[in-house]
Amino acid sequence: MLRFGFMAALVLTPALAFAQAATIPFDMRNRVTTELAPGLYTFGNFSARSIFVVGDDGVIATDPVSTDFAKDMRAAISKVTDKPVKYVVYSHQHWDHINGGKIFKDEGATFISHENCIKHFTNTPNPNVIMPDKTVKGGETVAVKGKTLNLMYFGRNHGDCMLVMQVQGTDVLYVNDLVTPYSLGLGFMPDYDPKEWARTLREIEARPDWQRMVGGHGVPFGKRDAVALRRDFLEQLMTAVKAEMDKGRSADEIAATINLPDFKDVRGYKEQIGRAAERIYHYYEMGW
Ligand SMILES: [Zn+2]
């Protein structure tokens, strides 16, 4: 079994926090359940991660990820409770999080997403994505007996239909792909809006009502420094790329030479930095 250590926040400077000690052990390959608060669990491995919420009369699950992942998550839920999955809430529209929900549909779960996701599902149909039964705008709650999940919407950021979730009474936010804790994540996609993404993270950082966050990939949870790290990276990246563009450099030149020393030890930096810089180049050149 592979184990990796990640850092808790000993100082507030994000890149430094990453380099300090205290490990959050996790399993790289096997999907495991981690209880974060009474009735609140995260399930997954480094590749994909969801949360589920267990109440007295049923369960709220989130992203099913894939048929195989959903089958494993259903088995993991059964180890905790014999109650049915009543709701499945999609964090956002990307298929690497929301494929495979049929096992929950078959047991009668109601599927929920932000209303802006629907056009993505109808424009590019995918038979493995169960269509939501119900949509929300943000600000609503989903409840099972004894547990209420807040659904929050921060506007455009990572696509345009991301729901951030928090079980009432816990200090844990589920932010999915907005932050992969202590990592630069798995890609830099065209529908990311970097400016609105950084704005969203600033708004999340300004909320005093959380201490831990769960992402859609990576370690089971991060602390507040994980959100600051990602936001700081986005802002420094945007500033650096714009400065190079102002000197007349091309997208290829910038992608090949970009250097953000604060983040060079963050997981994924070497693999992602060139593509990330290219995405920012197009943001400033094309206006999106
Ligand atoms: Zn995504």
Q: What is the pLDDT of residues 42-66, one digit of tens each?
A: 999 989 999 999 999 999 999 999 9
Mean pLDDT across 215-236: 95
- Rounded to the nearest angstrom, the distance between the alpha carbon of 91 and the centre of ligand 1 is 9
Residue 278 within any structural domain of the chain? no
Q: What percent of the chain lies above the pLDDT cut of 90?
A: 84
Token representation of residue 184: 């630069």
Report pLDDT for 122: 97
- Rounded to the nearest angstrom, the distance between the alpha carbon of 38 and the centre of ligand 1 is 27
Residue 15 within any structural domain of the chain? no
**Domain residues for 201?**
27-224
Torsion angle (degrees, nearest 10) of CA 99, 121, 124, 91: -50
**Per-residue model confidence as pLDDT tens digits over 79-93:** 999 999 999 999 999
Residue 276 within any structural domain of the chain? no
Instruction: Select the more confidently predicted residue: 70 or 11.
Output: 70
Report pLDDT for 189: 77
- Rounded to the nearest angstrom, the distance between the alpha carbon of 92 and the centre of ligand 1 is 7
Residue 206 within any structural domain of the chain? yes
- Rounded to the nearest angstrom, the distance between the alpha carbon of 15 and the centre of ligand 1 is 23
Report pLDDT for 188: 73
Strand order through the sheet with 147-153: 141-144, 147-153, 163-167, 172-176, 212-215, 222-223
Residue 282 within any structural domain of the chain? no
2 pLDDT tier (thresholds 50, 70, 90)? very low
- Rounded to the nearest angstrom, the distance between the alpha carbon of 1 and the centre of ligand 1 is 27
Residue 148 within any structural domain of the chain? yes
Among the listed ranges 14-23, 26-35, 151-160, 277-286, which one has the minimum average pLDDT value? 14-23
- Rounded to the nearest angstrom, the distance between the alpha carbon of 185 and the centre of ligand 1 is 10
Residue 46 within any structural domain of the chain? yes
Report pLDDT for 12: 39
Q: Of 272, 191, 170, 282, which Cα lies nearest the Cα of 230?
A: 272
Residues paired with residue 43 on neighbouring β-strands, in sequence order: 33, 50
Q: How far is it, in rounded angstroms, from Cα 27 to Cα 4?
A: 8
- Rounded to the nearest angstrom, the distance between the alpha carbon of 94 and the centre of ligand 1 is 5
Residue 216 within any structural domain of the chain? yes
H helix or E strand, kind and range, residue 102: helix 102-106
Which amino acid type is present at position 250? S
Question: Number of structural domains, the chain?
Answer: 1
186 pLDDT tier (thresholds 50, 70, 90)? low
- Rounded to the nearest angstrom, the distance between the alpha carbon of 227 and the centre of ligand 1 is 16
Report pLDDT for 28: 72
User: Is residue 147 within 8 Å of residue 55, measured between CB atoms?
Assistant: yes
- Rounded to the nearest angstrom, the distance between the alpha carbon of 272 and the centre of ligand 1 is 15
Report pLDDT for 156: 97
Report pLDDT for 287: 87
Rounded to 5 degrees, φ, ψ at 284 are -75, -30
- Rounded to the nearest angstrom, the distance between the alpha carbon of 219 and the centre of ligand 1 is 16
- Rounded to the nearest angstrom, the distance between the alpha carbon of 89 and the centre of ligand 1 is 14
Specify the CATH number for the domain of residue 179.
3.60.15.10
- Rounded to the nearest angstrom, the distance between the alpha carbon of 177 and the centre of ligand 1 is 5
Report the chain's mean pLDDT, rounded to a whole number: 91
Report pLDDT for 190: 80
Report pLDDT for 8: 36
**What single-letter DSSP state applies at residue 228?**
H
Q: What percent of the chain lies above the pLDDT cut of 70?
A: 90
Burial per residue of 165-203, b for 16 or more beta-carbon CB atoms within 10 angstroms, e otherwise: bbbeebebbbbbbbbbbbbbbbebeeebbbbebbbbbee
Mean pLDDT across 104-120: 98
**Per-residue model confidence as pLDDT tens digits over 246-272:** 999 999 999 999 999 999 999 999 999
- Rounded to the nearest angstrom, the distance between the alpha carbon of 231 and the centre of ligand 1 is 16
Burial per residue of 96-127, b for 16 or more beta-carbon CB atoms within 10 angstroms, e otherwise: ebbbbbbbbbeeebbbbbbebbeebbeeeeee
Residue 104 reports pLDDT greater than 70? yes
Q: How far is it, in rounded angstroms, from Cα 72 to Cα 11?
A: 37
Residue 131 reports pLDDT greater than 50? yes
Report pLDDT for 63: 98
Cα–Cα distance list, 170 to 38, 148, 167, 211 (Å): 9, 10, 6, 9
**Per-residue model confidence as pLDDT tens digits over 6-33:** 333 333 344 444 443 234 556 678 899 9
